[in-house]
Amino acid sequence: MPREVREAMEVDFGFYITGYLVCAVEAPPIFVGIVYADSRGRFEDGASVRTSLTRSVSFQNGYGVLTTFSGSCYVIVSWHPSQANGGNLYMNRSWH
């Protein structure tokens, strides 16, 4: 498991976390990425996933927090490089 994921797992977000995404890509109305620590046991660490439909994205403790209409909540540990520097809709909405 990547160090960045272990560090994110130490953070108390105050609610149930379904999993931690690295290399996340926004593909409205969903996200794709590599998941770790899937609390529902559906995916092995390092599996590529596609989330359910996105309900909201917020930023807490330096991380993106994605909730879905199916009730999942993912911590976005890192973004895919294509999503950096203005390529990410949610980052643009939050920071500009």
The string of pLDDT tens digits covering residues 31-51 is 999 999 999 889 999 999 999
Which residues, 6+ apart, have CB-to-CB distance to 15 below 8 Å? 73
The CA-based dihedral angle spanning residues 20, 79, 43, 46, taken in that order and rounded to the nearest 10 degrees? -100
Bond before 28 cis per omega within 30 degrees: no
Question: What pLDDT, on a 0 to 100 scale, did the predictor assign at position 94?
Answer: 42
Question: What pLDDT, on a 0 to 100 scale, did the predictor assign at position 86?
Answer: 53
Domain residues for the domain of 34 are: 3-95
**CA-based nearest residue to 74, from 31, 44, 41, 29:** 31
**pLDDT for residue 25 is more than 80:** yes
The count of domains in the chain is 1
